Structure 1
Amino acid sequence: MTSQDVRKQFLDFFASKGHLIVPSAPIVLKDDPTLMFNNSGMAQFKEYFLGNATPKSNRIADTQKCLRVSGKHNDLEDVGFDTYHHTMFEMLGNWSFGDYFKKEAINWAWELLTEVYKIPKENLYVSVFEGNKEENVPFDQEAWDIWKELIDEDRIILGNKKDNFWEMGDQGPCGPCSEIHVDLRSEEEKLQVSGKSLVNNDHPQVVEIWNNVFMEFNRKADGSLEKLPAKHVDTGMGFERLCMALQGKTSNYDTDVFTPLIERVEQITGLKYTSNEVLNISEEQNKTNIAIRVVVDHVRAVAFAIADGQLPSNTGAGYVIRRILRRAIRYGFTFLNTKEPFINQLVPVLANQMGEFFPEIKLQQQLVTNVIREEEASFLRTLDQGLQLLENVVAETKGKTVSGTKAFELYDTFGFPIDLTALILREKGFELDEAGFNAAMQEQKNRSRAASEVSTEDWSVLIPGNVETFVGYDQTESDVKITRIRKVDSKKDGILYQIVVDNTPFYPEGGGQVGDKGTLVSANETIEIIDTKKENNLILHFAKKLPENVNAGFVAKVNQDLRSLSSRNHSATHLMHQALRSILGTHVEQKGSLVNPNYLRFDFSHFAKMTESELQQVEDFVNARIQEQLPLIERRNIPFAQAVEEGAMALFGEKYGDEVRAIKFGESMELCGGIHVKNTAEIWHFKIVSEGAVAAGIRRIEAITSDAVKAHYASYENTLNEVKIALKNPQDILKAVHSMQEENAKLAKQIEALVKDKVKNLKESLISEIQEINGIRFLAKQVDLNPEGAKDLAYELGNLGNNVFLVLATADEEKPMLTCYISKELVADKNLNAGQVVRELGKFIQGGGGGQPFFATAGGKNVAGIQEALEKAIEYIK
């Protein structure tokens, strides 16, 4: 049974049981501030469990792309070393929202596994929650009794809170669960040791494949539990592990989920992967196996994250994706001998494998390939740089133990992996001070944790059962009642209060647009709203204090000035998107945006830097649409399929409901939930201020509109006036500037000629100062030249003969510079290196630098240190 068959049979089975089959949500979460990534099948349904929204069906089934590499659920460091942990995996799930409960969930799970998939019953074990007296949660007698009708009692295991009580997080819906485990060992192994004793003991062939969670409690901030108003079922079955069981394998990596990727790695590297069936493999082969598992696992996680709109970066979710990819590159570099980008070559295989069920990976294949290739090239350069820096650390080390603090600097500043550092040190006969490294790492984690520490209280519900409505498309003021409040205390923002009202004109941050600011005004007081966000379908209004009377009536007032500026930038973003597709081509797709009152930022797919002509064409296109005074045509609650069919653009990585809102200005039509102008004339004018690269194949434009454009041109006018004054008010400014440039060029040529004469004269006078020490002709001297002159002088003196070692210092315009020249025979025979010399001597002038082994320079900021640097230079040849 192929993996495609396994997935299809699961969904077909639950469709036959009355479940609505829904697509996977994006792997990257954009509307849940509590999670970076979808780390479980239930993440996209949180609002239903919390009662903040109504599902389109009470029975749903799907397969969800999940990523577990951060926070509570973090499997990253296990990946590769065993055969069943993954960064990205698929979670097959069936869901009941207040409909069926334990009886149906358990019976259907058993029916599917034993009758449809035909897994032998004697290979299955199940677990049931044993209860917890401290929390007053009883033994799950109901689940036990249901299982007793399906399986022998000696195959039912009691599980503790850790294994058999599932929680969404520190707070929120939770409940007992019943797991199903499969024993994939050989008959001989089963006779020797009972599978029951191996359940939940990290045995690679006795693994959990399905978890049935029975949501019946809500975990409060104080740790106590309360009953939910409705009981829900949340199940999850690991797709990769299920394929392993159904394909008769003992490793996920031996299934057809991974074998096509492994075969491609073998072709690229010339190395072979050995199946889990092979016994007694060598240590070298085991390292190869681990590295290949790391690569084929990680490329899936990175590729799908990029396809869903998350580019590698240095912060947040983007940093996590970069870290996963760099781990794969590092394993390839160290154990597969791949010194050139190669992981990007796996993307076509992945797209061919999974593109039918997850079309985004095929549609975004070129972008994903380009981004991964560029990230690989960049990190391989970093590895080369790190290797050189590590050489310097080793050279400075006294004894055979390298400082853990130095190793942490390499890791933290340059991204050089600590395990690679330890490996290289062992090869050179050095040890790593692991305790020092761990202490530095822990200190950083403590700082990070302290900075991000958040304490959230439970909601105080003032009006139960209220469903909040958003009225901000039509009005900026509304009479409201507060329905719930809670206090949030964070190191970053201090104490804030989140306020929910029965209806709100405040737009919550989303779709790139920042949240509204404004006030809540009652008869007696005014509460400032400093931000608005959305979480689990609730619109949260952030305030630094609560009203004295939370039960009073309020008028919610949006700051119309800020909203108006944001709306102009948002509408301009749509027009610019249309312009880019018209001028550059329909390959252009939005990959991210930021819309605030001050400016707009737009990331898009494109393969080359835009020319000045193209940028001007985009500006002209948008401004033409502004001049046309196009009215907003807004259509709400139209079917998603209909909107797309009519030409509306949908963005990859966004989660759309069955009904959507379409925004149209002339020929521009996009699905969008943001705030827009009523007519393009309100934008006034559009101006691009910058264009540049974000990642391979991704460009970024920053632009301004309306008031910001006026300020921009006013600033240019002021600058122009200052230039006129500086040039003594010429009639023709441009002519005056050209004249000054010509005069400057003539003077520069004269200076260059004078410096060359000076170099020749200095050369003659310095020849007599060259000393011969140990057969080496040595000179360390400060000279009155600019850096370019010092370079020319070094080469002039270096050409006098063999065995020359020079260190020249300059202090042109009070900027110290060291220039080192070493004859090539000294580099080869004496192992001298100019780059290393200037890096070490550069410390005396509070700077650094580098270059080639025979010529290098270092700049600094401490002129006073020149003399000491020159005095130290002689030590290299003594």
Structure 2
Amino acid sequence: MKSQDIRKQFLQFFESKGHLIVPSAPIVLKDDPTLMFNNSGMAQFKEYFLGNAEPKSKRIADTQKCLRVSGKHNDLEDVGFDTYHHTMFEMLGNWSFGDYFKKDAINWAWELLTEVYKIPKENLYVSVFEGNPEENVPFDQEAWDIWKELIDEDRIILGNKKDNFWEMGDQGPCGPCSEIHVDLRSEEEKATVSGKSLVNNDHPQVVEIWNNVFMEFNRKADGSLEKLPAQHVDTGMGFERLCMALQGKTSNYDTDVFSPLIEKVEQLTSLKYTSNEVATISEEQNKTNIAIRVIVDHVRAVAFAIADGQLPSNTGAGYVIRRILRRAVRYGFTFLNKKEPFIYELVAVLSNQMGEFFPEIKIQKQFIENVIKEEEQSFLRTIAAGLLILESLMQEVKIYQELSDKNVKPIISGKNAFDLYDTYGFPIDLTELIAKEKGFEIDLAGFYSEMQKQKTRSRAASEVSTEDWSVLIPGNVETFVGYDKTENEVKITRIRKVNSKKDGILYQIVLDNTPFYPEGGGQVGDTGILEWDSQSVLILDTKKENNLIMHLTHSLPDEDDLKGTFKAKVNEVARLKSSKNHSATHLMHLALRTILGKHVEQKGSLVNPNYLRFDFSHFSKVSDEEIKQVEDFVNQRIEEQLQLVEHRNIPIQQAMEQGAMALFGEKYGDSVRMIEFGDSKELCGGIHVKNTADIWHFKIISEGAVAAGIRRIEAITGDAVKDFYKNQENTLVELKEMLKNPQDILKSVVSLQDDNAKLKKQIEQLLREKAKNLKGELASELQEVNGIKFLAKQVDLNPEGAKDLAYELGNLGNNLFLVLATADENKPMLTCYISKELVASHNLNAGQVVRELGKYIQGGGGGQPFFATAGGKNVDGIKEALAKAVEFIK
């Protein structure tokens, strides 16, 4: 059975049981501050379990794209080394929100596996929660009794809290679970060792394929459990593992989920992947297998993350995606001998494989390929630079050995290895591999000590403790009235206290209704006040979490006032500025697609009161002429005074048929809000002006690249444009005064530039002549040290002049070791020249010399083995640096 058919059959089965089939949510989460990525099938349904929203159906089924590479669920380092862990995987799931419970969930799971998929019953084991007296949670007798009717009791296993009690996180809905495990070993192996003893023991062919979670409890902040008002079912079945079981394989990677990707890697590398079923595998072949598994797994994670709007970057979720891709590049570089980009070529295979069910991967294939290729090229350059630095570090150790005349063990310090990893992204195992080839060791204990220090600092900086909600009005469903109002009478329904290192103590307030817009869709959250009896508290920000709109404040009303009525007032000035920028963003999006082409897609945005930022797909710089055309296009729409046309709660299909733009990676419901300004039609939940004339004017202030194939425009509107032009006018006035009020200011500036260029040439000529004059003087000062002509001296030249002088002296002979220092404009610079013959015969390296001597001037640098420079901050260190130079040749 092909994987596409396995997926389809699962969904059809649960559709026949009255389940609504819903699409996968994006793999990247944008409205849940507790998670970076969708790491389980239930993540998109958290608000239903928490009772903050009503599900569209009490029975739902889907297949969810999941990513487990950070936080509590992190499988990254296991990927490749075994045959069943993955970064990105599909979770097949069925849910009941207060409808059916254990009996139906268990019976349907058994029916699907044994009667539809025809998995032999004798290959299956199930587990049941054994109970936990400490938390007053009893043995799951009900689940045991249900299973007893379906399977022999000797195939039912009691599981502890770790294996059979599932929790959403440190707080929130949780409950006992019942897992189903499949034994895929040969009959001979089964006869030797019982599969029951191998359950939950990391055996590659005895694996969990399905987990049925019975949500009964809520975990509170103090760790205690309370009963939920309704009982829910949350199940998850690993699609890749199910395919392994149904296709008769003993490895996920041998299934047709991965085999087309593996075949493409074999074609690109001329290396062969050996199936997990082969009895004996050489050490070299095993390394190849691991590398190929890493690559075919990681390309799926990276491609789907990019398709859902998360680009590789240096922070947050983007850093995680970059790290996954770099791990794949590193394995290709080290074990498959791939020194050029190649992983991007797997995207076409992935698109053909999964594009029918996940159309986002097919539609954005070209874009994903370009982003991955650019990232590969960048990291390969990083590896090349890291190799040079590592070579220098090893050279430094050798020099120290020679200078100290001691039998020092050749070791790269843990701090140096960590700097390579942290600053340059150079993987520790690659450092270890290369060092070992050269006879060096790595101080791994020191490396991991530095790593732990960094993690401790990071954890301390982001430490957050969250208390339970204090509910003042039970059962209230909050409503947002901010599209029509900026102030309204409200009541507080719940409060939660949060303490973080970053923000101190904050209170999150939820209201029965609110005019405050919560951060979302690129637009920042509203600020304002809660007012009562001539008193008020400041609302610092507004955010949304699990369908709750939370108003953040540093202080609360007195306890006696909490249950009273308040007036919620939005900061109208800030909101109006944000709305101008948001509406201008829509107009600019249309302008870019009209002027640059329909390939332009929004890839990120920020809308706040001060400016707007817009990231979009485009593979070349936007020219000055195109920038002007975009500005003119938007300003023309402003002058046309286009009225806002707003469609609330219309079916998404209707909106799409009317031409609305939907963004990849956004989670849309069945009903959406569509915003129209003339030909601009977008699905959007943000705040907008009533008429484009309210924007007043639009001005682009910058354009540039932020990632491969991604450009960024920053722009301003309204009062910010007025301030911009006022500042430009003031600058022009000051410039005219400085130039003595000429009639033609442009002509005066050109003349000034011409004069400056002429004077620069004259100065350069004078410095060259000065260097030539110094040549003879310094030639007489050369000393002989161990048969080498040596000089270390400070000269009154600029760095360019020092370079010319070094080459002039180098022409005098083949045996020169020279270090010159300059302090032009109080900026210390060291210049080292070593005759090429000395570099070869005495194993000297100018780059290493300046890196070592640069420490004395609080700086560093590098260059070629025969010529290198180092800049610094400490002029006073020049004297000591020059004094130490001779030690390299003593």
Compared with structure 1, are the counterparts of its residues 746 and 400 closer, same or farther at alpha carbon in structure 2 (3 Å cutoff)?
closer
Q: 1:533: which partner in 2?
A: 543
Q: 1:488: which partner in 2?
A: 498
1:417 matched to 2:460? The reply is: no
Q: 1:137: which partner in 2?
A: 137
Name the stretch that deviates more: 417-426 or 120-129.
Answer: 417-426
SS across alignment from 2:27 = coil
Q: 2:532: which partner in 1?
A: 522
Counting only pairs closer than 5 Å after superposition, residues 391-406 of structure 1 correspond to structure 2 as: 391-397=391-397, 398-406=408-416
Deviations 1:10-38 (A, max 9, x none): 01111111111110000000011111100
SS across alignment from 1:682 = helix
Q: 2:840: which partner in 1?
A: 828
Compared with structure 1, are the counterparts of its residues 661 and 102 closer, same or farther at alpha carbon in structure 2 (3 Å cutoff)?
same
Name the stretch that deviates more: 854-863 or 575-584.
Answer: 854-863
CA displacement at 1:524 relative to structure 2: 4.8
Name the stretch that deviates more: 748-757 or 81-90.
Answer: 748-757
Deviations 1:198-248 (A, max 9, x none): 111111100000001111111111111111111111110000000000011
Q: 2:721: which partner in 1?
A: 709
Cα distance in 1, alignment partners of residues 835 and 318 from structure 2: 46
Counting only pairs closer than 5 Å after superposition, residues 420-499 of structure 1 correspond to structure 2 as: 420-499=430-509
1:783 matched to 2:795? The reply is: yes
Name the stretch that deviates more: 322-331 or 711-720.
Answer: 711-720
Q: Of 670, 687, 693, which residue of structure 1 is paired with 2:682?
A: 670
Counting only pairs closer than 5 Å after superposition, residues 129-168 of structure 1 correspond to structure 2 as: 129-168=129-168
**Is contact 2:395-2:848 (8 Å) kept?**
no
Q: 2:766: which partner in 1?
A: 754
Alignment-mate amino acid for residue 305 of structure 2: A
Cα distance in 2, alignment partners of residues 196 and 118 from structure 1: 21
Q: Of 699, 703, 715, which residue of structure 2 is paired with 1:691?
A: 703
SS across alignment from 1:805 = strand
SS across alignment from 2:314 = coil
Q: 1:644: which partner in 2?
A: 656
**Structure 1: any 5+ residue segments left out of the alignment?**
none
SS across alignment from 2:226 = strand
Q: 1:816: which partner in 2?
A: 828
Name the stretch that deviates more: 64-73 or 518-527.
Answer: 518-527
Name the stretch that deviates more: 210-219 or 840-849.
Answer: 840-849
Q: 2:297: which partner in 1?
A: 297
Cα distance in 1, alignment partners of residues 117 and 146 from structure 2: 21
Cα distance in 2, alignment partners of residues 707 and 308 from structure 1: 35
1:243 matched to 2:229? The reply is: no
SS across alignment from 2:296 = helix
**Is contact 2:396-2:848 (8 Å) kept?**
no
Deviations 1:593-636 (A, max 9, x none): 00001111100000011111111111111111111111111111
Deviations 1:490-519 (A, max 9, x none): 111111111111110000000000000011
Counting only pairs closer than 5 Å after superposition, residues 163-312 of structure 1 correspond to structure 2 as: 163-312=163-312
Q: Of 605, 612, 636, which residue of structure 2 is paired with 1:624?
A: 636
Compared with structure 1, are the counterparts of its residues 803 and 490 closer, same or farther at alpha carbon in structure 2 (3 Å cutoff)?
same
Name the stretch that deviates more: 859-868 or 121-130.
Answer: 859-868
Cα distance in 2, alignment partners of residues 868 and 461 from structure 1: 69
Alignment-mate amino acid for residue 695 of structure 1: A
Deviations 1:60-84 (A, max 9, x none): 1100000001111111111111110
Name the stretch that deviates more: 783-792 or 698-707.
Answer: 783-792
Cα distance in 2, alignment partners of residues 554 and 780 from structure 1: 77
SS across alignment from 1:339 = coil
Q: 2:89: which partner in 1?
A: 89
Cα distance in 2, alignment partners of residues 823 and 438 from structure 1: 40
Cα distance in 2, alignment partners of residues 475 and 784 from structure 1: 70
Deviations 1:630-682 (A, max 9, x none): 11111111110110111000000000000100011111110000000001111
Alignment-mate amino acid for residue 749 of structure 1: K
Cα distance in 1, alignment partners of residues 768 and 451 from structure 2: 52
Cα distance in 1, alignment partners of residues 539 and 41 from structure 2: 34
Deviations 1:364-421 (A, max 9, x none): 1111111111111111111122222222333334533332122222222222112222
1:321 matched to 2:321? The reply is: yes
Q: Of 730, 737, 741, which residue of structure 1 is paired with 2:742?
A: 730
Deviations 1:519-565 (A, max 9, x none): 11112521111110001111001111111111010111100001001
Q: 2:753: which partner in 1?
A: 741
Cα distance in 1, alignment partners of residues 821 and 531 from structure 2: 69
Alignment-mate amino acid for residue 667 of structure 2: K
Deviations 1:407-445 (A, max 9, x none): 222222222112222222222222222222222221211
SS across alignment from 1:53 = coil
Instruction: State the percentage of identical aligned residues.
Output: 82
Q: 1:574: which partner in 2?
A: 586
Alignment-mate amino acid for residue 482 of structure 1: I
SS across alignment from 1:789 = helix
1:128 matched to 2:137? The reply is: no
Cα distance in 2, alignment partners of residues 545 and 871 from structure 1: 62
Runs of 4+ in 1 over 6 A off after TM superposition: none
Cα distance in 2, alignment partners of residues 746 and 607 from structure 1: 39
Counting only pairs closer than 5 Å after superposition, residues 101-116 of structure 1 correspond to structure 2 as: 101-116=101-116
Cα distance in 2, alignment partners of residues 813 and 401 from structure 1: 40
CA displacement at 1:303 relative to structure 2: 0.6
Alignment-mate amino acid for residue 570 of structure 2: V
Scaled by the length of structure 1, the TM-score of the pair is 0.98
Alignment-mate amino acid for residue 665 of structure 1: F
**Is contact 2:695-2:718 (8 Å) kept?**
yes
Q: 2:401: which partner in 1?
A: none
Cα distance in 1, alignment partners of residues 771 and 144 from structure 2: 93
Scaled by the length of structure 2, the TM-score of the pair is 0.97
Deviations 1:89-121 (A, max 9, x none): 000001111111111111111111011110000
**Structure 2: any 5+ residue segments left out of the alignment?**
398-407
**Is contact 2:579-2:687 (8 Å) kept?**
yes
Alignment-mate amino acid for residue 311 of structure 2: L
Deviations 1:712-764 (A, max 9, x none): 12222222222222222223222221121121122122222222222222223
**Is contact 2:352-2:362 (8 Å) kept?**
yes
CA displacement at 1:858 relative to structure 2: 1.4
Counting only pairs closer than 5 Å after superposition, residues 18-97 of structure 1 correspond to structure 2 as: 18-97=18-97
SS across alignment from 1:703 = strand
Cα distance in 1, alignment partners of residues 332 and 471 from structure 2: 54
Name the stretch that deviates more: 776-785 or 99-108.
Answer: 776-785
1:609 matched to 2:621? The reply is: yes
Q: 1:502: which partner in 2?
A: 512
Count of residues paired in the alignment: 878
Deviations 1:36-60 (A, max 9, x none): 1000000000111111111111111
Cα distance in 1, alignment partners of residues 189 and 420 from structure 2: 46
Cα distance in 1, alignment partners of residues 327 and 344 from structure 2: 14
Alignment-mate amino acid for residue 784 of structure 1: D
Cα distance in 1, alignment partners of residues 624 and 838 from structure 2: 50
Alignment-mate amino acid for residue 862 of structure 2: G
Q: CA RMSD in A?
A: 1.3
Deviations 1:837-870 (A, max 9, x none): 2222222222111112222221122222223222
Cα distance in 2, alignment partners of residues 73 and 19 from structure 1: 28
Cα distance in 2, alignment partners of residues 307 and 381 from structure 1: 25
Deviations 1:125-147 (A, max 9, x none): 00111111111111111111111
SS across alignment from 2:133 = coil
Name the stretch that deviates more: 697-706 or 264-273.
Answer: 264-273
Name the stretch that deviates more: 611-620 or 863-872.
Answer: 863-872
